[in-house]
Chain A
Amino acid sequence: MSDHESTYVPKTGVEKWLDSRLPIVRFGADYMSLPTPKNLNYWWTFGGILALCLVTQIATGIVLAMHYVPNTELAFASVERIMRDVNSGDLIRYTHANGASMFFVAVYLHMLRGLYYGSYKAPREMIWIVGCVIFFLMIATAFLGYVLPWGQMSYWGAEVITNLIGAIPLIGEPILIWLRGGPAIDNATLNRFFSLHYLLPFVIAGCVVLHLWALHHAGQGNPVGILIPKDREKKDMVPFHPYFTVKDGFAVILFLILFALFVFFMPNALGHADNYIPANPLQTPAHIVPEWYMLPFYAILRAIPDKFGGVVAMFGSIGVLFILPWLDTSKVRSMRYRPTMRTFFIIFVLVGMGLGWCGAQLPDAPVVGSFKTFILIDGDLNSYLWLTRLFTAYYFAFFLIILPVVGLKETPLAIPATISEPVLSGGDAMTAAAAASAEKKG
C-alpha cells in the first residue's frame, strides 16, 4: 500500500509464519513508520479526529440500534426509553446525536484545510474526490439519521427533502414514491431510512480506506505545499509514530473536551426543540429548519426562486467540489504563498458561515432593522432572500471564476526550496541524537 521501504522484522516464530502468509503485522508496522513531513501543523490533525468521529458514531449507533424500534407508532418513545431505561443510554444517545455535529465541525475544518493548502492538486486529486464522496455520504447519513427519532423536525425535514426529488422533471414523481415506499412518508419510509442509515456508515468506512490508500500512495501534503524529493526524506520527514501519534493524540483530546462539553452539559443545544414533539403529519411546524451543518446548503436551495433550479444549485454546490482540482489553475499549492487568493479564501469562509446564518432565518425577514427598502424582482432588497443570493453568487463564483482566473493572473510569493527552510528555529536536519532519543521515548 505505501511506497516506503518496510523496516519490519518479524521476531518470533509465530510472526514469521504469519508474515509469509498474511503480512498484516507488517502492514500495521509500515503504517506506523510512514515518513511524514515534519512541518504538518494542527490543521492536519482533523483526519485522525474524523476517524475517531466515525468509530464513535458506528459504536454508539450499533448499541442504539439494539434498542430502537423503527415503527412510526413506537420510534419516538423508543428513543426516549433508551435515555431513561437503558444503562448509560442517555450518554449513548446524546453522544450519537452530538457526534453528528462534531463530525461535521471536523469535516468542514478538514475540507477548508485542504482548500487552503491546495491538498487537492496533483498528484492528490483522488484523495480529494474520494473525500468529496465521503462528505456527500455523510450528509445523506446525517439526514437519514435525523428522521429516525420521528419528531416533528424529523418528519417535516423528510417531507421537505424528499419533495425536492419530486421537483425533477418527468422522473421525479416515480423516484419520490420509490424513495418513500409509498405516496406519503410513513412506516415504509421510516423502515428504509433506518436500514440505509445503518448501511451508509459502512460504505463511508470503505471510502475511508480508499481515502487513506490514495493518501499513502500519493504521500502527505504539507503546509509549504512542495513535493519532498527522495533525497530530502531523511531531513524533512519523521516517522508517523511516535511523532504524529502524539501530536494527533493531543489534538484529539482537545476535540474530545469540546465534544464532552456538549454531551454532558448541553446535549440539546445544537438540536431543535420541535424534534421532542412527536411527528404529526397534520401539523406543520412554524419553521422547518435542518440541523446547523446543513444550513448553508438549505440557504442555497431557497435562494433560487424555481424549485428544480434550487435543487440543481444545492446539489451543484457540492458537485462543484468534485471538479475543484481542475478549476484551480495555479501551480502553487499552498495559499501561504498566494496572498491574493488567501484574501478570497477568507471571504469564502465568511460567506460559508453567512450562508449558514441565512439558512436559519426566514427569507422575508429584514437583515438590518425592520424597515423595507424596495422590491427587487421577488423580494425586498433588505431581506435574507437577497443576502442569501449574494452569498450564493460568491460561493459559486469562488470556484468557477475566482479560482481559475486568479491562478492565471496572480504573482505568488517565492516558494522555499525545502520545507525545512521556513522553520523559524533554523536547523533543518533532525540530528542523529534527537532521532535516537525519540526512538527510545517512542
Chain B
Amino acid sequence: MTLKTSMHSMKKTLVLIAAAAGLSLAAGPALASGGGHALRDGGFSFEGPFGTFDQGQLQRGYKVYREVCSACHSMNLMHFRTLAEPGGPFFDAHQANPAENRFVKALAKEIQVPDIDTETGEPVMRDATPADRFPNPYPNATAAAAANGGAAPPDLSVMAKARHGGANYIYSLLTGYHAPPAELTIRPGQNYNVYMAGDLTPFWKGDAAHVPAGGFIAMPNPLRAGQVTYDDGTEASVDQMSKDVAAYIAWASDPKQVQRKQAGVGVMIFLLLFAGITYMSYRRIWKGVAH
C-alpha cells in the first residue's frame, strides 16, 4: 500500500472512531434534557485540560460549607485529612503528610465528634483529628428527613458528579432563587428555583405556552450577603459564596482530578510520540511490500 492509500484508510478509521465517540457524547446532553434553565457559567479555574484549583477559593468554599451547608448536609465520604491532600484547600507543600497538617489539625480540633470512651465504654464527645470523617449533622437518615419536611438533605460528597453541569449547576442553583411569577402556586414547604429540574405545569395558572423554567426545591435560599466572613477579605456576596462553595464541592467530588489531568498531559505526549515512532517502524518494515 502506498503512503497515500494507507493514510487514507487510516483516516477513515479515525473518522469512524471519532464519530462513534461523538455520537455517545451527543447522547449525554440528550439524556439530561428537560427541566431547568440553561446553567450559569461560574468561569471556574479548574475547567479544561490544564485547569487547576484556586486554593484560596477552595478555602473560602470550605468555610461556606462548614458555616452554612454543614448545618443540614453531610459529606460522609470526606475526612479532615482529605483537605490537606495535594490540590486540596489546605495542602501545605512543607508538610506533605495530611495527618500532620497544622491547618487541618486546627480545623478538626474545633469540631466535636462522637466516640466511645475506651475505659468505660460510654459514648463521649471529643475533639476531631485529621483522621476523622466530617461529622453528620443528624444522628440518622430518619432524623434528617423528619427535621426537613420528610426529605433528608442529600449528602454533598460527590454532588458535582451527581448532577449534570457539575459545579456550574451548584453555582446556578444557589443563585437561582428568583422571585416566583405571580401566576405560580408555590406548594407549602417548597421554594421556587429556576435551575431546579421539574415540571411546573400543574402549578401554573398563566399562559399554558409559557410555563416558567425551573422547579420546586425543599431547601430555602441558604445564602444571604455577608453571611460568612472570609479570612482573605473577599466580599461575601451571594454570588461569590455560591461560586466558592461550588468549587469546593467540585474538588471534594473528585479530589484527584487536577493531578489526573496533569498526568494525562504527560500520557498524551508519550502516546503521540510512541504513535509516531511506531508509524515510522511500520513504514520501514512494510517498505517494498505492496499491500
Some 7 contacts from A to B, beta carbons below 8 A apart, are A246-B278, A265-B261, A270-B24, A272-B31, A423-B290, A430-B290, A442-B285
- In chain B between 241 and 288, which residues have their CB closer than 8 angstroms to a CB of chain A? 253-256, 260-261, 263-264, 267-268, 271-272, 274-275, 278-279, 281-282, 284-288
Contact of B23 among A267, A289, A357 (CB under 8 A): A357
| Structural contact, B1 and A257, CB atoms closer than 8 A | no
Segment from A34-42, A166-174, A209-217, A313-321 that makes contact with B:
A34-42
Given contacts A105-B20, A109-B20, contact A257 B268 (CB under 8 A): yes
Residues of A within 8 A of B146 (CB): none
Contact indicator per residue, chain A 258-297, by CB within 8 Å of chain B (1) or not (0): 1011011101111011101110000000110100100100
* Chain A, Cβ-Cβ closest to B157: A80
**Interface: A243 (CB within 8 A):** yes
Contact indicator per residue, chain A 417-442, by CB within 8 Å of chain B (1) or not (0): 00010011111101101100110011
Given contacts A286-B197, A424-B5, contact A276 B289 (CB under 8 A): no
**Interface: B114 (CB within 8 A):** no
Residues of A within 8 A of B10 (CB): 42
| Structural contact, A423 and B261, CB atoms closer than 8 A | no
Contact of A430 among B261, B268, B289 (CB under 8 A): B289
Segment from B102-110, B159-167, B223-231, B232-240 that makes contact with A:
B159-167
Interface residue tally for chain A (C-beta within 8 Å):
72
Residues of B within 8 A of A441 (CB): 284-285
Segment from B11-19, B56-64, B115-123, B187-195 that makes contact with A:
B11-19
Measured CA separation A108–B21 after assembly (Å): 12
Q: Chain A interface (Cβ within 8 Å of chain B)?
A: 38-39, 41-43, 45, 77, 80-81, 83-84, 90-91, 94, 101, 105, 108-109, 238, 242-243, 246-247, 249-251, 253-258, 260-261, 263-265, 267-270, 272-274, 276-278, 286-287, 289, 292, 295, 353, 356-357, 360-361, 420, 423-428, 430-431, 433-434, 437-438, 441-442
Residues of A within 8 A of B24 (CB): 101, 270, 292
| Structural contact, B264 and A109, CB atoms closer than 8 A | no
| Structural contact, B49 and A273, CB atoms closer than 8 A | no
Given contacts A84-B77, A90-B254, A423-B290, contact A260 B271 (CB under 8 A): yes
**Interface: B139 (CB within 8 A):** no
Measured CA separation A409–B226 after assembly (Å): 80
Given contacts A83-B254, A253-B278, A424-B5, contact A276 B30 (CB under 8 A): no
Across the A-B interface, the 5 shortest Cβ-Cβ residue pairs: A264-B264, A434-B288, A276-B162, A276-B161, A292-B24
| Structural contact, A269 and B275, CB atoms closer than 8 A | no
Measured CA separation A353–B31 after assembly (Å): 16
Measured CA separation A439–B109 after assembly (Å): 70
| Structural contact, A91 and B260, CB atoms closer than 8 A | yes
Q: Interface extent on B, as a size class? A: 35 or more
Residues of B within 8 A of A357 (CB): 23, 27, 30
| Structural contact, A356 and B27, CB atoms closer than 8 A | yes
Q: Chain B interface (Cβ within 8 Å of chain A)?
A: 1-2, 5, 9-10, 12-14, 16-17, 20-21, 23-25, 27-28, 30-32, 34, 49, 76-77, 82, 154-155, 157-158, 161-164, 197, 253-256, 260-261, 263-264, 267-268, 271-272, 274-275, 278-279, 281-282, 284-291
| Structural contact, A238 and B261, CB atoms closer than 8 A | no
| Structural contact, A243 and B285, CB atoms closer than 8 A | yes
| Structural contact, B278 and A292, CB atoms closer than 8 A | no
* Chain A, Cβ-Cβ closest to B265: A264
Contact of A273 among B17, B162, B287 (CB under 8 A): B162
Measured CA separation A12–B255 after assembly (Å): 54
| Structural contact, B256 and A109, CB atoms closer than 8 A | no
With most chain B CB atoms within 10 A of its CB, the pick from A43, A246, A260 is A246
Known pairs A433-B288, A441-B284 / 14 extra A-B pairs, C-beta < 8 Å: A42-B12, A80-B77, A90-B254, A90-B260, A91-B263, A101-B24, A246-B282, A250-B278, A264-B268, A265-B49, A268-B161, A360-B27, A361-B30, A425-B290
Residues of A within 8 A of B154 (CB): 277
Contact of B281 among A84, A105, A246 (CB under 8 A): A246
| Structural contact, A264 and B278, CB atoms closer than 8 A | no
Measured CA separation A243–B263 after assembly (Å): 32
Contact of B290 among A264, A272, A286, A420 (CB under 8 A): A420
Measured CA separation A423–B267 after assembly (Å): 37
Measured CA separation A287–B32 after assembly (Å): 9
Residues of B within 8 A of A101 (CB): 24
Contact of B164 among A263, A273, A423, A434 (CB under 8 A): A273
* Chain A, Cβ-Cβ closest to B160: A276
Residues of B within 8 A of A90 (CB): 254, 256, 260
| Structural contact, A257 and B275, CB atoms closer than 8 A | yes
